[in-house]
Amino acid sequence: MRLSRYFIPVLRDDPKEAQIASHRLMLRAGMVRQASAGIYSWLPLGQKVLRRIQEIVHQEQVAAGAIELLMPTLQSADLWRESGRYDDYGKEMLRIRDRHERDLLYGPTNEELVTDIFRQTVKSYKDLPKILYHIQWKFRDEIRPRFGVMRGREFLMKDAYSFDIDSEGSRASYNKMFVAYLRIFARLGLKAVPMAADTGPIGGDMSHEFIILAETGESQVFCDKALLDLDPLAMDVDFDGNLQPIVDQWTGPYAATDEKHDADRFNAQVPVDQQVSARGIEVGHIFNFGTKYSEPMGARVTGPDGALVAAEMGSYGIGVSRLVGAIIEASHDERGIIWPEAVAPFKVGLINLKSGDSTCDSACEDLYARLTKAGVEVLYDDTQDRPGAKFAAMDLIGIPWQVLVGPKGVAAGKFELKCRKTDERIELSADSIVERLT
Ligand code: P5A
């Protein structure tokens, strides 16, 4: 992509409304613009990152056996009356009335809707287990939307729902999502710790929040430092096998959110020098709630003995749009964002230090064409800005690799390759640069 033809409206100054780094940097790097309180337009750079995250989430959900569908954002209030949550949900639910005076709502979550789909279609235990998921916008009329996309009113969520014939099966589904979540967050370059958590309006008695430690996090959390040293991508995972040993390994050491914290147990179980007490960002939350929805909504299937039983269910959420902010909180410096390669909007930023100079232009065009042909996404700064401004913008946007092309380099046949994260720079020939980056 040529920057001159693209759309990245960067801001020179810090926006006043931004209290935390990710919010400030997302606005400054031209990733989002606020449409109204807690509601954002995703500009091209933001949308690209959002897509990258979704792609990883999709891959890992499918690998774990989940099946994608797409449910609407608007739901009928009647379904929520059946589960009893229409009144319980309170002011966070955006209620809408259509021209026929029917009550609708903008979905804050989809337990009711997916249970309705299930009860209409699945009749026998032979069709179980099933895990259905989608990535869809949600609306919660948060009283205090803040920190940009971290606590929005409209936000993108991946939500999955499991259906099993008995609690044992339901536990196995929970474990699949638990392990899939460990892998997803690790692939996104994050260290997320599963912690025992409260269930709130979703319900049930088994629940884990996946938390990233960050000073700007909204939750107070406590855990054993040992959990921070585990690497989910080093585990051998067979989603068709027994995942309990992996889950046990991750739930054995102490980890709890504020609401579930037990100071006595923490002190007894974790040596003082291993105790972590910190702020955290909740990027995922999984629940096992048995028949809380299937029973009142009549989602029953025939079991092996011919008797009708309510499906055992769980639900599993990831804050996809929140993750964009969370990744930035975990990976930035005073100059801007540092994207992990897995989610970077472009892999390479190609900076022409003298646009208009024919030798620089042709060296850049050559590199741009070769990298693009090799399937590498390049943002080519072909604008007339000063080099200083180009460096600052590229650092702000946070593309992992920068290639600097100036008259001296062209003359010597060497160009500077800079790593955004380490600031390391090396001089290489065009061939070596292409080789390194592909
Ligand atoms: C699980 C999936 C649920 O809604 N039902 C379907 C369950 N869980 S949850 O914890 O309430 O939300 C799941 C994740 O969504 C993100 N999230 C938000 N992101 C941005 N702004 C918000 N206002 C917001 N509220 C929730 C969190 O990452 C949460 O873990």
State phi, psi for 8 to the nearest 5 degrees. -130, 85
Give the separation between CA 286 and CA 385, rounded to whole angstroms: 48
Q: Which atom of ligand 1 is nearest to the CA of 209?
A: 30
Rounded CA-CA distance 174/315 in Å is 8
Q: Which tokens go with 368?
A: 């741009």
Atom of ligand 1 nearest to the CA of 160: 2
Closest to 182 in 3D by CA, of 226, 159, 212, 162 = 212
Residues 6+ apart with CB under 8 A from 192: 181, 182, 185, 186, 210, 211, 212, 283, 284
Which residue's CA is the closest to the ligand 1 atom numbered 5?
109
Q: Is 282 in the pocket of ligand 1 (CB under 6 A)?
A: yes
Q: How big is the CA angle at 274 (ends 268 and 279), to the nearest 5 degrees?
A: 100
What is the Cα–Cα distance from 58 to 135, expressed in whole angstroms?
A: 9
Instruction: Please state, in angstroms and as integers, the Cα–Cα distance from residue 104 to each residue in 88, 93, 95, 99, 257, following that order.
Output: 16, 10, 6, 11, 34
Pocket mutation for ligand 1, best pick of 149, 157, 181, 288 (most atoms within 8 Å of C-beta) = 157
Q: Is the beta carbon of 316 within 6 A of some atom in ligand 1?
A: yes
Q: Is 357 in the pocket of ligand 1 (CB under 6 A)?
A: no
| Cβ-Cβ contacts under 8 Å for 301 (sequence gap 6 or more) | 122, 123, 124, 125, 127, 128, 165, 308, 309, 311
Cβ-count burial of 238 within 10 angstroms (0-12 exposed, 13-18 middle, 19+ buried)?
Answer: exposed
Using a 6 Å cutoff on CB, does residue 141 contact ligand 1?
A: no
Residue nearest to atom 22 of ligand 1 (CA): 151
Q: What is the pLDDT of residue 205?
A: 81
Q: For position 201, what pLDDT does the model report?
A: 84
Nearest CA to ligand 1 atom 7: 317
- Going from the Cα of 284 to the center of ligand 1, the distance in angstroms, rounded, reads 7
Closest CA to 282 of 230, 325, 319, 321: 319
For the CA of 157, the nearest atom of ligand 1: 15
Q: Can you give the pLDDT at residue 203?
A: 81
Whether residue 285 has its Cβ less than 6 Å from ligand 1: yes
The pLDDT, as a whole number, for residue 204 is 81
**pLDDT tens-place values along the chain, 438 residues long:** 999 999 999 999 999 999 999 999 999 999 999 999 999 999 999 999 999 999 999 999 999 999 999 999 999 999 999 999 999 999 999 999 999 999 999 999 999 999 999 999 999 999 999 999 999 999 999 999 999 999 999 999 999 999 999 999 999 999 999 999 999 999 999 999 999 998 888 888 889 999 999 999 999 999 999 999 999 999 999 999 999 999 999 999 999 999 999 999 999 999 999 999 999 999 999 999 999 999 999 999 999 999 999 999 999 999 999 999 999 999 999 999 999 999 999 999 999 999 999 999 999 999 999 999 999 999 999 999 999 999 999 999 999 999 999 999 999 999 999 999 999 999 999 999 999 999
**Both structure tokens of 297:** 């909504």
- DSSP string for residues in 161-217: EEEESSHHHHHHHHHHHHHHHHHHHHHTT--EEEEE---GGG--SEEEEEEEE-TT-
Total Cβ atoms within 10 A of residue 76: 17
Question: For residue 200, what pLDDT is reported?
Answer: 84
Q: Is 151 in the pocket of ligand 1 (CB under 6 A)?
A: yes
Q: Atom 8, ligand 1: which residue's CA is nearest?
A: 317
The response to whether residue 192 sits with its C-beta less than 6 Å from ligand 1 reads: no
> Residue 383's CB: how many other CB atoms inside 10 A?
16
Q: Ligand 1: which of 285, 315, 321, 324 to mutate, judged by most atoms within 8 Å of the beta carbon?
A: 285
Which atom of ligand 1 is nearest to 323's Cα? 28
Say how many Å lie between the CA of residue 93 and the centre of ligand 1.
14
User: Residues with Cβ < 8 Å from 245, sequence gap 6 or more?
Assistant: none
283 lines ligand 1 (CB under 6 A): yes
Q: How far is the CA of 225 from the centre of ligand 1 (A)?
A: 26
Q: Tell me the pTM.
A: 0.97
Residue 295 CA to residue 14 CA, distance in Å, equals 52
Domains, the chain, in order of start with CATH, read 3-337 (3.30.930.10), 348-437 (3.40.50.800)
Q: What is the DSSP letter of 1?
A: -
For residue 349, give the H/E element and its range: strand 348-352
Please tell me the distance from the alpha carbon of residue 425 to that of residue 416, in angstroms, as a whole number.
Answer: 6
Distances (CA, A) of 321 to 11, 27, 52, 152: 21, 14, 11, 9
* Token digits of residue 252: 């054995």
Distance from residue 290's CA to the centre of ligand 1 (Å):
19
CA distance 28 to 14: 7
* Residue located nearest, by CA, to atom 24 of ligand 1: 151
In the block, residue with structure tokens 């992992």: 400
